[in-house]
Structure 1
């Protein structure tokens, strides 16, 4: 099953990269996937559109992780493949996206790719956590307007995050 895992730059340090693949030991945590509920809610979307909706939900959750921790202020989504039986319905109680799932236990996931904000987005991401309520919509829009950069699994060690030495 393909998962879109909201993450932080710190999570990238745990990705193990070899010449042939990248793996990440994912513990119990929330993620997003193409679920039957998501597919039903988007009847006019093709497979790619439904996948994009699940990915966008992970991007949104990544912003929450960044604002809640002492990490580089960049959104990160790690796309992985895991066995179907490693994933279950989300246990979250409120405001749950139809794509929300939970990784049920520790699993070695195969990393497909990573999406990360460009380093210049850091100021916009930080602004979301520091603006007054009246300015929040504008600050959020500045972040939403930014595209995340795509990196192949083989490029994980070269992703600029601003909080670790880049190769």
Structure 2
């Protein structure tokens, strides 16, 4: 199952992502997302899941301890066994397509890295400080695609 994991630049240096002991929130094409967006095809649903993960990456950047991390949203697209993915109930702040992943994700299972371009940094910086208009502008920015083999170079360029 393809999942979209919201991360920060610091995660690019991890030996692996996730852990069976500490499930991580991610986004995926789920029955709830399909019901919420009935006019979307599979590709549109995948884009929607990745954009929700991008928003969640920005939320991670706003958390205490994230100061000094690159002002870029980062999403890791990975393939995991469906048995390690649990769809969360849509309630409160939980969006359709939100899942919990309870597995370690080796870099070999990563399909792509999706990252904001440098032009989005100003809006991401303002959004992580609470500017709602900047959050909306950041949400409109396209994410750039990187192959997993570019992970180290990307981490270097982001100061991780």
Tell me if TM exceeds 0.5.
Answer: yes
Structure 2 residue 81 is the aligned partner of structure 1 residue 83: yes
Match of 1:115 in 2: 114
Q: Which has the higher strand share?
A: 1
Q: Using the TM superposition, give the Cα deviation of residue 72 of structure 1 relative to its aligned residue in structure 2, in angstroms.
A: 1.8
1:119-166 CA distance string (max 9 Å, x none) = 3422221112336xxxx34322332232221101221122164323xx
Q: Which residue of 1 aligns with 2:10?
A: 10
C-alpha deviation, 1:92, in angstroms: 8.4
Contact preservation (8 Å) 2:33, 2:96: yes
- Per the normalisation by structure 1, the TM-score is 0.81
Q: Which moved more, 1:100-109 or 1:147-156?
A: 100-109
**Larger radius of gyration between Structure 1 and Structure 2:** 1
Give the count of matched residue pairs: 152
Change (3 A) 1:98 1:145: closer
1:94 deviates by 2.4
Give the secondary-structure state (helix, strand or coil) at the position aligned to 1:115: strand
Q: Label 1:49 to 1:79 Cα distance change in 2 as closer, same or farther (>3 A).
A: same
**1:86–1:107 CA contact under 8 A, matched in 2:** no
Q: Does 1:53 align with 2:48?
A: yes
Q: CA deviation at 1:91?
A: 7.0
Q: Which residue of 2 aligns with 1:39?
A: 34
